[in-house]
């Protein structure tokens, strides 16, 4: 047999065998994805309901699940099926599924399973250590865990691609299709634009209202959160609202749960967190149910996810129209607000606090300086350009440089976020990129719908449906740039965010 004849035979075999390989690959992948979704339940439970002393067993459970998932993803059969499907003539949806599985397989295949299990186990161990270190303001207690996780994640990146910047490699775990170059360009653009804008706003001295100056019991705050979620259209048959130290959303298209937290003196904090997490949950609940366990039933990535939470939090929840709608609920549950107007609440919800130290309590605008700071620190940590021991000092210096304020404690500084205790390096930039995308989507949904009118009337269905149609239902059918192009007809851009921020805060602060 000549080489040419052999190739011809192989091509013929591919054409007839590819569908079988596709079915086998997808069946196999469904087990992996389902295992991962089971792990999400364990993680939710760990953060919401698990008793304190349950950690040792939970760590073992989580690392067993992630280890098995890794083994399944790297089985020789998977390479075989992917080889069979190489160049196969598949429909758009099938081609997308194969693209996503191939990408996941390649990354996993390069990383030894032992390392994956070790990272998962160390992350579970680190979580309660971080919680206690934060409670005790004791960075030294957390530092060894952080160092271990950094070392393991560097090792991970080295396995994926020893020739590339390890931070760029880690970033792709959260945002696979917008490269780190794009991320850096957008973060730099924002820094250039926002620092002078924030300076202008600080210099202005508007007389902004702040009617939320009392204390608001947890049960009243929870009642408001539930009423707002009802109004926005959260599907309680597929969700729950609980509390946790850091608000988060977890689940799948059948069961997607929100957490928030309540601070007596700051009812806007809980409300904002609730609406933010609603946006995440709405995305997950909008994924097609019949594609559960396949790439077409999975969220695109963290940037797109964050665009959904930020859209609802900022472009709906921080508008004047929103406060007109929410006014009766807020007045009913909270004492002392009978005379407060929607405009006053709008002003309170949108005033900026450059002196604030806590990212998750930051206003919409200065928030991004918190992200830029974290991005720079974690990038330098991963690259080995910064020692763990120096994190508190560098953190505090950057806070002073960007926002003119210096934390007194590490609990209010470099210990405030949960992410690094998960070994999540490269995650933070997705928050700002998500906000940028939210502004771009907001521009386009407002081209199609009168969003302010709808919000004012509490008619959120058309807005939810627009996002469902443009974003949610596609799962991973498109890459991120393709999805943005599909939804908006243009490439990813920071223009709308810059324009939106300048106009909104310019009006509010009279600059």
Which range of residues in 4-12, 216-224, 232-240, 379-387 is near a copy of itself by CB under 8 A? 232-240
Which range of residues in 48-56, 150-158, 303-311, 429-437 is near a copy of itself by CB under 8 A? 48-56
Nearer to a copy of itself, 239 or 279 (CB): 239
Which token pair is 52? Answer: 């304190």
Which range of residues in 57-65, 129-137, 299-307, 356-364 is near a copy of itself by CB under 8 A? 57-65
Which token pair is 153? Answer: 């994640």
Least CB distance from residue 44 to a copy of itself, whole Å? 8
465 closest CA partner among 333, 322, 285: 285
**CA dist 176 → 168, 426, 478, 479 (Å):** 10, 11, 12, 9
**CA dist 195 → 59, 155, 207, 428, 502 (Å):** 42, 36, 22, 19, 12
The yes or no reply on residue 354 touching a copy of itself (CB under 8 A) is no
- Tell me which of 2, 5, 16, 52 binds a copy of itself, using CB under 8 A: 52
Range 108-167, binding a copy of itself (CB under 8 A): none
The yes or no reply on residue 54 touching a copy of itself (CB under 8 A) is yes
The yes or no reply on residue 207 touching a copy of itself (CB under 8 A) is no
- Tell me which of 45, 109, 138, 485 binds a copy of itself, using CB under 8 A: 45
Which range of residues in 61-69, 381-389, 467-475, 494-502 is near a copy of itself by CB under 8 A? 61-69
Nearer to a copy of itself, 63 or 435 (CB): 63
Is residue 507 classed as helix, strand or coil in its secondary structure?
helix
Taking the C-alpha atoms of residue 32 and residue 34, their distance in angstroms, rounded to an integer, is 5
- Tell me which of 50, 209, 386, 405 binds a copy of itself, using CB under 8 A: 50
Least CB distance from residue 25 to a copy of itself, whole Å? 16
Least CB distance from residue 321 to a copy of itself, whole Å? 30
Given a contact cutoff of 8 angstroms between Cβ atoms, the answer to whether 503 and 350 are in contact is: no
The DSSP line for 16-38 is HHHHHHHHHHHHHHHHHHHHHHH
Nearer to a copy of itself, 284 or 366 (CB): 284
Q: Hey, which residues does 241 pair with through a beta bridge?
A: 258
Range 239-298, binding a copy of itself (CB under 8 A): 239-240, 251-255, 257, 289, 292-293
- Tell me which of 27, 56, 179, 404 binds a copy of itself, using CB under 8 A: 56
377 closest CA partner among 150, 194, 189, 210: 150
Task: Give me the catalytic one of 104, 117, 148, 277.
Answer: 277
User: Based on the number of CB atoms within 10 Å of its own CB, is 16 exposed (0-12), middle (13-18) or buried (19 or more)?
Assistant: exposed
Given a contact cutoff of 8 angstroms between Cβ atoms, the answer to whether 164 and 474 are in contact is: no
Element (H, E) at 402: helix 391-403
257 φ/ψ angles, rounded to the nearest 5 degrees: -110, 145
Lookup result for tokens 């469904």: 30
Nearer to a copy of itself, 29 or 167 (CB): 29
Which token pair is 434? Answer: 């998500």
Which range of residues in 233-241, 423-431, 439-447, 459-467 is near a copy of itself by CB under 8 A? 233-241
Taking the C-alpha atoms of residue 390 and residue 445, their distance in angstroms, rounded to an integer, is 45
Is 131 annotated in the active site?
no
Interhelix angle 342-350/495-509, rounded to 10 degrees, is: 120
Q: Hey, which residues does 243 pair with through a beta bridge?
A: 260
Nearer to a copy of itself, 250 or 396 (CB): 250
Taking the C-alpha atoms of residue 59 and residue 120, their distance in angstroms, rounded to an integer, is 8
Given a contact cutoff of 8 angstroms between Cβ atoms, the answer to whether 363 and 220 are in contact is: no
Residue 279, CB half-sphere, CA atoms under 13 Å: how many? 28
Range 25-44, binding a copy of itself (CB under 8 A): 30-31, 34-35, 37-38, 41-42
- Tell me which of 47, 61, 333, 396 binds a copy of itself, using CB under 8 A: 61
Nearer to a copy of itself, 26 or 369 (CB): 26
Chain centroid, CA 278 distance in Å: 12
Least CB distance from residue 287 to a copy of itself, whole Å? 11
Range 389-428, binding a copy of itself (CB under 8 A): none
Binding footprint of a copy of itself, residue count (CB under 8 A): 40
Least CB distance from residue 253 to a copy of itself, whole Å? 7
Given a contact cutoff of 8 angstroms between Cβ atoms, the answer to whether 247 and 200 are in contact is: no
The residue ranges that bind a copy of itself (CB under 8 A) are 30-31, 34-35, 37-38, 41-42, 45, 49-58, 60-61, 64-65, 67-68, 235-240, 251-255, 257, 289, 292-293
Active site residues: 277
């Amino acid at each position: 047999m000549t080489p040419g004849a052999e190739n011809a035979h192989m091509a013929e075999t591919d054409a007839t065998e590819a569908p079988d390989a596709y079915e086998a690959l997808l069946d196999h992948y469904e087990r992996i994805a389902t295992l991962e979704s089971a792990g999400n339940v364990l993680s939710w439970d760990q953060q919401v309901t698990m008793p304190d002393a349950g950690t040792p067993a939970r760590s073992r459970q989580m690392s067993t699940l992630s280890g098995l998932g890794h083994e399944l993803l790297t089985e020789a059969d998977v390479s075989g099926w992917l080889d069979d499907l190489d160049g196969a003539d598949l429909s758009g949806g099938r081609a997308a599924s194969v693209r996503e599985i191939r990408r996941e397989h390649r990354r996993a295949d390069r990383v030894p399973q032992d390392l994956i299990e070790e990272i998962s186990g160390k992350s579970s161990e680190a979580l309660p250590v971080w919680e206690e270190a934060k409670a005790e303001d004791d960075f030294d207690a957390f530092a060894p865990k952080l160092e271990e996780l950094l070392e393991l994640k560097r090792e991970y990146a080295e396995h994926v691609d020893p020739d590339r910047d390890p931070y760029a490699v880690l970033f792709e775990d959260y945002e696979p299709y917008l490269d780190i170059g794009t991320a850096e360009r957008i973060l730099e653009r924002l820094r250039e634009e926002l620092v002078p804008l924030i300076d202008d706003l600080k210099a202005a001295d508007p007389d902004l209202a702040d009617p939320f100056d009392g204390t608001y019991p947890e049960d009243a705050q929870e009642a408001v959160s539930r009423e707002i979620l009802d109004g926005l259209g959260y599907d309680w048959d597929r969700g729950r609202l609980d509390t946790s130290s850091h608000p988060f959303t977890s689940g799948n298209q059948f069961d997607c749960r929100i957490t928030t937290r309540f601070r007596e003196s700051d009812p806007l904090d809980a409300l904002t967190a609730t609406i933010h997490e609603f946006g995440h949950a709405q995305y997950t609940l909008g994924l097609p149910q019949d594609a559960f366990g396949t790439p077409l039933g999975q969220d695109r990535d963290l940037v797109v996810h964050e665009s959904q939470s930020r859209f609802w939090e900022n472009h709906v929840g921080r508008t004047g129209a929103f406060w007109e709608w929410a006014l009766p609920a807020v007045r009913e549950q909270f004492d002392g607000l009978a005379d407060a107007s929607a405009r006053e609440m709008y002003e309170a919800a949108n005033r900026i606090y450059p002196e604030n130290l806590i990212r998750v309590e930051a206003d919409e605008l200065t928030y991004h300086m918190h992200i830029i700071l974290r991005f720079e620190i974690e990038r330098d940590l991963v690259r080995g350009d910064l020692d763990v021991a120096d994190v508190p000092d560098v953190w505090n210096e950057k806070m002073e440089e960007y926002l003119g304020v210096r934390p007194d404690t590490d609990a209010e500084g470099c210990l405030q976020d949960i992410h690094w205790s998960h070994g999540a390096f490269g995650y933070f930039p997705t928050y700002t990129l998500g906000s940028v995308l939210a502004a771009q989507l907001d521009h386009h949904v407002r081209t199609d719908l009168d969003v302010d009118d709808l919000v004012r009337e509490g008619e959120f269905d058309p807005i939810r449906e627009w996002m469902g149609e443009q974003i949610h239902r596609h799962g991973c059918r498109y890459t991120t740039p393709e999805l943005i192009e599909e939804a908006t007809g243009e490439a990813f851009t920071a223009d709308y965010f810059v324009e939106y921020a300048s106009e909104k805060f310019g009006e509010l602060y009279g600059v």
